[in-house]
Amino acid sequence: MNNKNTIIIIGLIVLVFLGFLFVENNQRAQIQENVVVDTNDVITEDVKDWTESDIKKYIEENLNDFNPVEGILGGTMYVLDINLLDNNTFEVYQEDGHIENFFSGEYTIEEDGLNIFNIQNLGSDYYEQFIANS
């Protein structure tokens, strides 16, 4: 009788683990689609004299306003790194403790604020390209 209970408990643990893997893989498949979000969020701060670090800080602090991917399993996406590229484009490397993801966007510095637009999800397989752009 004891061996039978042990086998049942092990079986339940395996089923829970497989269920977790299924949910996580399903979430990963969903975020790898090319999602485009055009927010055109304009802030009303004096940004004429902003440096690269000011722009990166703004992107990081306002990530949830234009992030194309939400955290899974209770996680919250946070920035690991940001690349500012030519032509006022940027790339963000983010994770939530369960998944990692990359997205890109464009910005313009206007008289009335920083305009963030053309957000595109790059998926989770973009790491080598991100490092090459650093």
Taking a C-beta distance cutoff of 8 angstroms, is the pair 59, 81 a contact?
Answer: no
Q: Inform me whether the pLDDT recorded for 39 exceeds 80.
A: no
Strand ranges, E, within the chain: 36-37, 41-42, 78-85, 89-95, 100-110, 113-123
Q: Which residue from 56, 65, 47 is spatially nearest to 84, judged by alpha carbons?
A: 56
Rounded Cα distance between 63 and 47, Å, is: 18
Whether the model clears a pTM of 0.75, i.e. scores above it, the answer is no
pLDDT at 47: 65
Rounded Cα distance between 19 and 15, Å, is: 6
Per-residue pLDDT reduced to its tens digit, 77-101: 888 999 999 889 999 998 888 888 8
Where along the chain do its domains lie?
32-133
- Residue 38 — very low, low, confident or very high, per pLDDT cuts 50/70/90? very low
Per-residue pLDDT reduced to its tens digit, 49-86: 788 888 898 888 888 888 777 778 888 888 899 999 98
